[in-house]
Structure 1
Amino acid sequence: MKNQRKKNPRLLGALGKNFPRTHALAAGAASFALALTLFVSTPEVEAKRTALPVSLAPAEAVSPAVAAAEEADAGIAVEDARSGLRVIEEKVRNGDTLSDLFQRAGVSSAEMYQLLASGQEAKQLAKLAPGEELTFQVDGDGNLQSLELHRDRLSRVEFSRDSGDEYNYALHQREADRHSAYRQGEIKSSLFVDGGEAGLSNNTIMELANIFGSDIDFALDIRKGDTFSVIFEEEFLDGEKIGDGPIKAVTFTNQGKTFNAVRYTDSNGDTSYYTPDGKSMRKAFIRTPVDFARISSHFNPRRLHPVFKTRRPHNGTDYAAPTGTPVYAAGDGKVVRAGYSKPNGNYVFIQHGDRYMTRYLHLSKRLVKRGQRVKQRQVIGKVGSTGYATGPHLHYEFLVNGRHRNPATIVRQLPKAKSIPSSEMARFQAQTQPLLAQLERFNQPALAQQSEHGESSGSTN
C-alpha cells in the first residue's frame, strides 16, 4: 500500500544481531500461547458478567475513570421476555428535567405530556431530586406502557397504561423494620465531631441540638467534659440498615447540669419532646438561629465598631458561619420587614406577638417576604456578608417592648410552650416511663466507669 511505512533495515539488522533466531522463535511461541490463553479465558469471564455487542470498528482508547463514569450515568435498557416490552432505567442527575429523562429513554415528548395530563398525581413527576430513579416500560412502537418513580427504597410510585389508553396511579409503600439503639459520648472537641465518633448520624446530632435548643446554646455553652446519651430508632430493610428514625429519649449534661427529654405523641397525634415530668422542651424562642455557629461578637452596648473604629452599641450577637448557612426563625411570628439597606445588607425583621421582635442582618439571601407567617426553625434566609460586614456572619437582635436585649440570655427568661395537661398525664407516663427507665439502665455502666476513673461530668475551662 502507498501509505505503508518502510521497514528500517538498520533496526531489523540490530534486532537480528542481538536477538538470535532460536530465541526469537521461542519468544514468539510463548507470546502466541499467552495470547491464546487470554483469547480463550477473557470472553468467558466477561460473558458471565454481561453480554456485550461485538464491534468490528477500531476501538478508541478510553481511560478507566471515564469509562466507569459513563457506565454509571448511562441508562440500563433490557427486554422483558414475558411482556415483550423494553425496560429502561434512568437515574436523575443534577439539573435533569423530566424531558431530559424521557429523551434519554427514547420516549417521545407527546407520551410525556399525555402522562402529565392524566391526573393530579402525575404532577409530582415535575419535581424530581438527584438520585431518584425512573423505570420506563415501552412497547415496540415506542409507546410508554408504564413508568415507575423510585423516591427511595421504601416508596415507589407507578403509572400504568390501561386498555383505554389512560394511566392508572398506584403508590407502593414498604415499612422498614425499626429497632432501638443506644449511643453515649463525651464532648472533647464539639458536639458534631464527638457525636459522630459515638456513632450518631448528622441528622440525629441535629435533632439532639434542636431538642435542647431552648436550654443549651451549642455555640456558647458547650464545654469539654459534657456528656450525652441517646436512645433512637434504627431503620432496616431486608436486614440492611437504611437510616435512623427519631430520638426516643435523650440526656445531655452541660456544665454539670443534666437535661432529660423524652418523645411523646399525644391523643391528637401531635408529637413533641418533654421533660420527664411533662413540661415542654420547646420554648417560645430557640437560643440560636444558626446551627453550630461560632459567636464572633457578643452583645455589647460599648463595642468598638470593626469598620468605623468608633464606639457604637452592638445591640445583638454575631454568629460567624460560612456563606449559605441556613438561618432559622427564632419563634413563630410574622415578617414585618424584609429588604436591603446599605448598612444592614439583606435583612428580615419578625414580630412575635405584641412584645417581641427578632432581627436578622447581612443575609446573602432572603427566603421570606413581608407579611408572611413563619414557624419556629423555619429557614428564612442564608448567612452572608452583605452591607457593612467584614466577613460572612449573621447579626441577630432580640427586642422586648422595643428595647434591645441580650439574645444569649433573654431566652432563658421566657416561658416555655404548653405542658402536658393533667387529663393526659397518665397516658404520658405510661408511654414515656419505660423509655426513661431504659435510658437509665443504659447509663448505669457508663456512670460506673466514669466513677472508677474519677471523671466528672461538670465543666472544664
Structure 2
Amino acid sequence: MKYINVALSTVVAAAILFTSCESREQGKTSVDAGVPSIQERAAASPAPAPPEPEETVFKGKVASGNTAASILKTWLSPSEVHAFASVCEPVYDLTKIRLGNPYRVATVEESFTRFEYTIDSDSYLEVSQEGETYKAEIKPIAYDVKTVTVTGDIRTSLYEAMSAVGEKSILAVRLGNLFGWEIDFIHDLRVGDTFSVVVEKRYVGDSFKGYGTILAAEFVSQGVHYEAYRMEEKDGSAEYYSREGKNLRHSFLKSPVAFTRISSGFSLKRYHPIQKRYKPHYGVDYAAPTGTPIYAIGSGTLKRVATNDSSGKHILITHSNGYESGYLHMSRFAKGIRSGRKVEQGDLIGYVGSTGLATGPHLCFRMKYHGKPVDFTKIDAPRAASIPAHRKEEFARIIAEYRPLLNTQYATNDSKDEPSEGKG
C-alpha cells in the first residue's frame, strides 16, 4: 500500500509539472503571437540607402592662354568638349571668357557634373551634365543686398574723400560720371563740398562683392545743390534725372578720365616736347598717374585697338552720331577690349600710361566730327530726353522715397526747400 501511494504521488507530480510547462508554453505563445522573428524583420525592412557621393569643387581663374577646352580637358575628352561647346553656343560664346574671371568645376567621384563661369558682376554661365548631354544657362548671381547712404566731404579730391569714409574708388568714379556734365570735377571742387549717395551694396555672406545700383545722389559744389534720382524705363534700362526732371545723361561723358588736370589743350600750333617743332595738337591731354582708369565717353564700336611708335597703345571708337573718339598713350588695355567689339558709355577700356611719343603719363584724348578734328572741351553735347509728362507722378514718388535718405539741406530744412537749377 505504501508503494501504491508513492506511485500515485509520482504520477500526480508529473501531471502537475506537465500541466505547468504546457501552461507556460501556451502563455509564451500568446505573448509572442504576431511578433516577427529576427529573420522575418530583416526580410521585411529594406536596407538603408548608401550615402550620396560627395561633390568636389575645383576653383580657379582664367589664366593667360586659357580656353574652355584647356580648362576642361582634365575631366572631358575632346569629343565631350565639342558637345559641351555646341550646347553653349546659343547661350554664351565661350571664346569670350576673360582673363582673371573665376570659374568652378564640380565633380562626383572624379566625373564631371557642372561648370560655372562668372561672366560679370551680375551673371554667370552654368553648364550641367544631363545624361549623355549638357544643359547651358545664364543665371543671375545671388547677392545679399543692403541699401546704404554714403556721405563725405571734400578735402583734396573726390577719390580721397570716398576713401576717407571707407569706400572703394569705383564709387567715386560712378558718382563723377553721374554728375559729370553738371560739375567740372577738375576745376570746380572746393574744400568743404559734400556728397551723399544712396547705393546698394552686394554681399555673399559677410564678404563685400561690390556696388549695385545707385538709387539717388546729391552733390553740393560751392553751395550749389545737384540731385540725381534713378527711374527705370519701360525697356528695363534706367536714367537719372534732376529733381526738376532733367535727364543727367548727355551723349558723351564730360571727361574720359576722372578728376585729373588738363596739361595741354587743343591747339593748331603747339611746340612738341619730343619732336622739338611746332605742329597742331588735335587733342586734350589729361595728366594722370599711370594706371588711372580710362572710360569710353560714349557708346559705339571699337574701330581700332592697336599699338604704334607715335600713339603707343591706343583705341579709336566710332560713335553713331558722326563722332569718333581717340585714346592715346595707354599703359594697357582693359580686359576683353578688341577691335570690332561694341562698348557702352562709361565702359572701362584702358589705363593711363606713357607709351609712344610721351614725356610722362597722360591720356591724349582726341575727337573728330565727320572726320574733322574738333576741340572736345567746347562740344555742347545734348541731353537725353527729360521726364515725360505722364510719368511725373511716378517720379515724384521716387523723390519722396529716396530724398529723405540723402544728407541734404532740403531733407533737413524745409524752409530752404526750393529747386536748384544748377548748371547745364
Give the structure-1-normalised TM-score. Answer: 0.63
Match of 1:362 in 2: 329
SS in 1 for 2:396: helix
Return the alpha-carbon distance in structure 2 between the equivalents of residues 124 and 339 of structure 1. 24
Match of 2:158 in 1: 191
Aligned AA (1:307): I
Once the two structures are TM-superposed, the CA of residue 82 in structure 1 deviates from its matched residue by 1.5
Count of matched residue positions in the alignment of Structure 1 and Structure 2: 356
Q: Using a 3 Å threshold, how does the CA distance of structure 1 residues 119 and 392 change in structure 2: closer, same or farther?
A: same
Moved more, 257-266 or 350-359: 350-359
Q: Using a 3 Å threshold, how does the CA distance of structure 1 residues 108 and 226 change in structure 2: closer, same or farther?
A: same
1:15-48: CA deviation from partner (whole Å, max 9, x where unpaired) = xxxxxxxxxxxxxxxxxxxxxxxxxxxxxxxxxx
Aligned AA (2:190): R
Return the alpha-carbon distance in structure 2 between the equivalents of residues 382 and 205 of structure 1. 17
Contact 1:217 1:288 in 2 (8 A): no
2:199 is the counterpart of 1:232: yes
Contact 1:111 1:143 in 2 (8 A): no
Match of 1:157 in 2: 126
2:178 is the counterpart of 1:178: no
1:233-263: CA deviation from partner (whole Å, max 9, x where unpaired) = 2335567655432111111122333221111
SS in 2 for 1:92: strand
Match of 1:135 among 91, 103, 106: 106
Contact 1:315 1:404 in 2 (8 A): yes
SS in 2 for 1:430: helix
Return the alpha-carbon distance in structure 1 between the equivalents of residues 82 and 328 of structure 2. 47
Contact 2:151 2:407 in 1 (8 A): no
The within-5 A match list for 1:42-441 is 82-83=51-52, 85=53, 87-93=55-61, 95=63, 98=68, 102=72, 107=75, 109=77, 112-113=80-81, 116=84, 119-120=87-88, 127=97, 129-138=100-109, 143-144=111-112, 146-149=113-116, 151=118, 157=126, 159-162=128-131, 165-168=132-135, 175-236=142-203, 242-299=209-266, 303-322=270-289, 325-333=292-300, 343-345=310-312, 347-350=314-317, 352=319, 356-363=323-330, 367=337, 369=339, 375-379=344-348, 382-398=351-367, 406-408=375-377, 410-411=378-379, 413-439=380-406
SS in 2 for 1:432: helix
Once the two structures are TM-superposed, the CA of residue 197 in structure 1 deviates from its matched residue by 1.8
Contact 1:287 1:407 in 2 (8 A): no
Q: Using a 3 Å threshold, how does the CA distance of structure 1 residues 253 and 172 change in structure 2: closer, same or farther?
A: closer
Return the alpha-carbon distance in structure 2 between the equivalents of residues 374 and 238 of structure 1. 32
Q: Using a 3 Å threshold, how does the CA distance of structure 1 residues 423 and 341 change in structure 2: closer, same or farther?
A: same
Where structure 1 has 5 or more consecutive residues not aligned to the other structure, the ranges are 1-79, 448-461
Once the two structures are TM-superposed, the CA of residue 286 in structure 1 deviates from its matched residue by 1.2
Once the two structures are TM-superposed, the CA of residue 149 in structure 1 deviates from its matched residue by 2.4
Contact 2:305 2:316 in 1 (8 A): yes
Q: Using a 3 Å threshold, how does the CA distance of structure 1 residues 300 and 92 change in structure 2: closer, same or farther?
A: same
Contact 1:102 1:112 in 2 (8 A): no
Q: Using a 3 Å threshold, how does the CA distance of structure 1 residues 305 and 86 change in structure 2: closer, same or farther?
A: same
Return the alpha-carbon distance in structure 1 between the equivalents of residues 92 and 344 of structure 2. 27
Q: Percent identity?
A: 30
SS in 2 for 1:119: helix
Return the alpha-carbon distance in structure 1 between the equivalents of residues 204 and 264 of structure 2. 47
Contact 2:157 2:259 in 1 (8 A): no
Where structure 2 has 5 or more consecutive residues not aligned to the other structure, the ranges are 1-48, 415-424
Contact 1:187 1:194 in 2 (8 A): yes
1:326-374: CA deviation from partner (whole Å, max 9, x where unpaired) = 53332345677776765444555556567755443334567564x8765
Aligned AA (1:187): I
Q: Using a 3 Å threshold, how does the CA distance of structure 1 residues 257 and 301 change in structure 2: closer, same or farther?
A: farther
Once the two structures are TM-superposed, the CA of residue 92 in structure 1 deviates from its matched residue by 0.7
The structure with more strand, counted as a fraction of residues: 2
CA RMSD of aligned residues (A): 4.1
Return the alpha-carbon distance in structure 2 between the equivalents of residues 397 and 125 of structure 1. 34
Contact 1:229 1:443 in 2 (8 A): no
Aligned AA (1:166): T
Contact 2:69 2:81 in 1 (8 A): no
Contact 1:266 1:428 in 2 (8 A): no
Once the two structures are TM-superposed, the CA of residue 98 in structure 1 deviates from its matched residue by 4.7
Q: Using a 3 Å threshold, how does the CA distance of structure 1 residues 115 and 159 change in structure 2: closer, same or farther?
A: farther
Give the structure-2-normalised TM-score. Answer: 0.67
Match of 2:11 in 1: none
Return the alpha-carbon distance in structure 1 between the equivalents of residues 338 and 386 of structure 2. 31
Once the two structures are TM-superposed, the CA of residue 279 in structure 1 deviates from its matched residue by 1.0
Moved more, 220-229 or 183-192: 220-229
SS in 2 for 1:132: strand
Contact 1:293 1:320 in 2 (8 A): yes
Q: Using a 3 Å threshold, how does the CA distance of structure 1 residues 102 and 240 change in structure 2: closer, same or farther?
A: closer
Q: Using a 3 Å threshold, how does the CA distance of structure 1 residues 405 and 253 change in structure 2: closer, same or farther?
A: farther
Contact 1:182 1:442 in 2 (8 A): no
Structure number with bigger Rg: 2
Return the alpha-carbon distance in structure 2 between the equivalents of residues 355 and 172 of structure 1. 37
Return the alpha-carbon distance in structure 2 between the equivalents of residues 154 and 374 of structure 1. 18
Contact 1:160 1:169 in 2 (8 A): no
Return the alpha-carbon distance in structure 2 between the equivalents of residues 372 and 110 of structure 1. 29
Once the two structures are TM-superposed, the CA of residue 318 in structure 1 deviates from its matched residue by 0.9
